[in-house]
Structure 1
Amino acid sequence: MATMLHRQSSESAGLTSLAAWALLSVCLSLCGCRSRPAPPPPPQEPPQRPQAGRLMTEVRYAKGFSVEAGDGFTRVRVTRPWRGAQTSFEYLLIPRDGEPPAEVGEAHVMRVPVQSVVAMSTTHLPHLEMLDCLDRLVGVNDISHVYSPEVIELHRQGTVVSVGREGTVDLEQLAATEPELVFDVALGQADADNYRTMLDGGFSVAVNGEWTEDTPLARAEWIKFTALFLGRVAEAERVFDAIAAEYERLAKLTAEVTARPLVFAGNEFQGTWYVPGGASYLAQFFHDAGARYVWDDDSSTGSITIDFEAVLERAREADDWFLHSGGFADLGGLAAADERYGLLKAVREQRVYCNDAQLSPAGRNAYFESGIMHPEQVLADLIHILHPELLPEHQLTWYRRIPPATEANR
């Protein structure tokens, strides 16, 4: 009995010893896994700034700016910032890792591509949208003037702020956005221009003179000017080349037309009529759309002011009237504004058009913000109106035909 108990005790001890060794082995194994150093994480790449890319481009239509290659920099000159300007602006664009030349004179030196911008004119916003650079927009002059739903949403989120109101600028609000560059527009009037105030305040400013150009394609080509500062030249060329090709294709459709409708444009404001001059960009639109403009013999590139009697003398028998403001719901509202409009053939035959086909809920007109960058669409609208047989399937984008008077407005 004792021998049996001793044997059982020895076996139990042996089993216990084996279990202990097994447990120890597991523990050592687990401890070994814990103590083995984990592999280091892969090195994190530092965030990359957008590169300047190509800083040269050919200017084909615009007359108000030029681009010249230098040794490690690009020289951009704005020679016509406003009509009749005796002042020009020169910018030396240097890649962020480059060095400016020893002599820069009065040129403004700017490191590109810039990372944050303020757009003082709503016409600069389509450039940022079409170049996929809205993420660099930090401010606009006055959000209440903006049509773009994307920019309005950025303002709602707090990403974009207003830095002024009604064409003025608040330097404190501007400074809070910390912009690397402000895109501005100037009129050559000290009491209306902000660029000098901003320059004196230490801000970098690029003056855009697109509004001085006399042809639709020349105005649209200023997207290349914006792109030079943003490092998006190749993108701007692709965008503009497509616009120019389509515009020129459409213009060829009317090159041989013999029946050219007589048209006029403009409207009355506080007793004075403002009409596009015969050498203006709107006159070019009419010519390319296959029309005769009643002021074709005028050499003005901007607007001219006349009285209604002068309008009546030239435009009484014009076939079509193109309004560029007014907001008339129907022809009854137009007649209520001035009953003499009924003397015009275009009104009697209900061929009055307005460029307010796209209005925001707040009443902002997309034409004045984005139409400048879509001259091919504007031209297509005009050709469809004047020569519907050439573009029978086209749907109006920017213009609408003002409908007949409703009962309430008769």
Structure 2
Amino acid sequence: MKAKFLLVITFFLLINCKREQKNSFSEWEKISERVQFKANDGKIDLKSGNFTYQFDKNKVPFQKIILLNASLMGYVTELEAENLVIGIASPEYIYSEKIQSLLASGKIQNVGNEQKYDVEKIISMKPDAIFTNYIASFDNTYQLLKNNNIQVIFLDEYLEQSPMVKTSYIKLLGKLLGKEKEADSKFNEIQKNYNDLKELALKSNKKPNVLANEMYGDVWYMPGGKTFTANYISDANAHYILKDNKEEKAVTMSFEEVYSKSKNIQFWVNAGNHLSKKEMLSINPFYGKLEVFNKGKIYGVSGREKQKANDFFESGVVRSDLVLKDYIKIFHPELLPDYQLTYMKELR
């Protein structure tokens, strides 16, 4: 009897140990196929593309960071974590007024541009981490920074083609910057808004035909059918010209190819940041041959722009709900009668 009692006690002890062990190790939180992270006993493990990281509990959350991409700034400003930024590259491309104010006061330093970073300055600033998209041509620079014990974290959010997946990077930044609750709250808010807007768009019985992007030189870089632009157009209940295409990147087309597919197009979106249709014609007279140019409506992404800075590529990366709302307002204005466009602007 005593042996049986001890066996039962041992069994429950083993079960409890297993439960405690399971609870001390969290599951991977999957942002996308490219990015996932988890917390283990205060440490944070991160997989981002081909790179893996482990941050000790005494190193996170980061208190001093440098950003080398304007798009990553969108997450920081949405989390109201601007005070953690000590340096940025190419500040002329940053739209945020608060960041520009911190630059003017010297609390944030300019650390170079996309051609050349000021490595000595970065090292002297002793950041806890640098966040950037990975660019192979900067491998030597990255290695030099790592050799000086500076953590370089590669986050290639621009490769993601789902609008809400791009938004979900805010959860990772929240974890690394000590803003986890704020990040979860903001993500849930944006996700609910996005889903509600998708449902709203379906209430329209119209499904207009849509053309996107513009020409650079002799090539029209049309978004592939699986890109985030195509996904936005689909979620806004419109018919994209290349919706059956399977590419997750831009498809190169000649003007003639686009022209042959552009009959009965009502809307042309993401037509650069031009000021007017006249300006577009001065750059490319062929645009005047398109039916949509003469009879449809054209929208660029210059709704929130100051000189070289464009908020569509900053906060717009995170606020997928507002981007979708713009598209719905464009394609189905009757569904949002009182809404004014945020990032888009009609060209006349």
The TM-score normalised by the length of structure 2 is 0.87
Name the structure 2 match of 1:176: 124
Name the structure 2 match of 1:230: 177
Name the structure 1 match of 2:340: 395
Name the structure 2 match of 1:36: none
SS in 1 for 2:321: helix
Work out the CA distance in 1 between the residues paired with 2:281 and 2:63: 51
Work out the CA distance in 2 between the residues paired with 1:394 and 1:57: 41
Supply the AA of the counterpart residue of 2:89: N
Work out the CA distance in 2 between the residues paired with 1:193 and 1:358: 36
Q: 1:310 to 1:195 in 2, by over 3 A?
A: farther
Percent identity of equivalent pairs: 24
Name the structure 2 match of 1:14: none
- Gaps of at least 5 residues in structure 1 are 1-54, 81-87, 97-110, 404-410
Superposition deviation, residue 140 in structure 1: 0.3
Q: Out of 356, 362, 369, which is 2:314 matched to?
A: 369
Q: 1:222 to 1:235 in 2, by over 3 A?
A: same
Say whether 1:319 aligns with 2:266: yes
Q: 1:318 to 1:57 in 2, by over 3 A?
A: farther
Work out the CA distance in 2 between the residues paired with 1:328 and 1:271: 18
Q: Out of 249, 263, 266, which is 1:302 matched to?
A: 249
Superposition deviation, residue 58 in structure 1: 7.5
Name the structure 2 match of 1:70: 40
Query: Which stretch of structure 1 is more off in the superposition, 142-151 or 292-301?
Result: 142-151
Check conservation: 1:142, 1:167, Cα contact below 8 A: no
Check conservation: 1:316, 1:343, Cα contact below 8 A: no
Supply the AA of the counterpart residue of 2:94: V
Say whether 1:346 aligns with 2:292: yes
Name the structure 2 match of 1:147: 95
Name the structure 2 match of 1:335: 281
Deviations 1:102-123 (CA, angstroms, capped at 9, x unpaired): xxxxxxxxx1011100011111
Supply the AA of the counterpart residue of 2:334: E
Deviations 1:51-97 (CA, angstroms, capped at 9, x unpaired): xxxx979846633211234344232211x3xxxxxxx222223322x
Work out the CA distance in 2 between the residues paired with 1:314 and 1:196: 47
Work out the CA distance in 1 between the residues paired with 2:83 and 2:191: 27
Superposition deviation, residue 254 in structure 1: 2.3
Check conservation: 2:329, 2:339, Cα contact below 8 A: yes
Q: 1:264 to 1:223 in 2, by over 3 A?
A: same
Check conservation: 1:120, 1:183, Cα contact below 8 A: yes
Superposition deviation, residue 168 in structure 1: 2.7
- Gaps of at least 5 residues in structure 2 are 1-24
Superposition deviation, residue 194 in structure 1: 4.9
Name the structure 1 match of 2:20: none
Supply the AA of the counterpart residue of 1:125: M
Check conservation: 1:114, 1:230, Cα contact below 8 A: yes
* Matching of residues 269-280 of structure 1 within 5 Å: 269-280=216-227
Name the structure 2 match of 1:25: none
Deviations 1:197-224 (CA, angstroms, capped at 9, x unpaired): 4324431011112111111110011111
Q: 1:367 to 1:58 in 2, by over 3 A?
A: farther
SS in 2 for 1:321: strand
Q: 1:307 to 1:290 in 2, by over 3 A?
A: same
Name the structure 1 match of 2:207: 260
SS in 2 for 1:169: coil
* Matching of residues 231-246 of structure 1 within 5 Å: 231-246=178-193
Larger Rg: 1
SS in 2 for 1:222: helix
Q: Out of 42, 51, 56, which is 1:89 matched to?
A: 51
Work out the CA distance in 1 between the residues paired with 2:197 and 2:214: 27
Superposition deviation, residue 191 in structure 1: 5.3
Superposition deviation, residue 349 in structure 1: 1.6
Name the structure 2 match of 1:250: 197
Supply the AA of the counterpart residue of 1:342: G
Work out the CA distance in 2 between the residues paired with 1:139 and 1:261: 44
Check conservation: 1:262, 1:320, Cα contact below 8 A: yes
SS in 2 for 1:95: coil
Higher helix share: 2
Check conservation: 1:357, 1:399, Cα contact below 8 A: yes
Name the structure 2 match of 1:22: none
SS in 1 for 2:317: helix
Work out the CA distance in 1 between the residues paired with 2:54 and 2:323: 35
Check conservation: 1:113, 1:230, Cα contact below 8 A: yes
Supply the AA of the counterpart residue of 1:347: F
Q: 1:114 to 1:69 in 2, by over 3 A?
A: closer
Q: Out of 41, 62, 69, which is 1:114 matched to?
A: 62
Name the structure 1 match of 2:304: 358
Work out the CA distance in 1 between the residues paired with 2:77 and 2:346: 29
Check conservation: 1:251, 1:288, Cα contact below 8 A: yes
The TM-score normalised by the length of structure 1 is 0.75
Work out the CA distance in 2 between the residues paired with 1:75 and 1:169: 28
Work out the CA distance in 2 between the residues paired with 1:164 and 1:268: 30
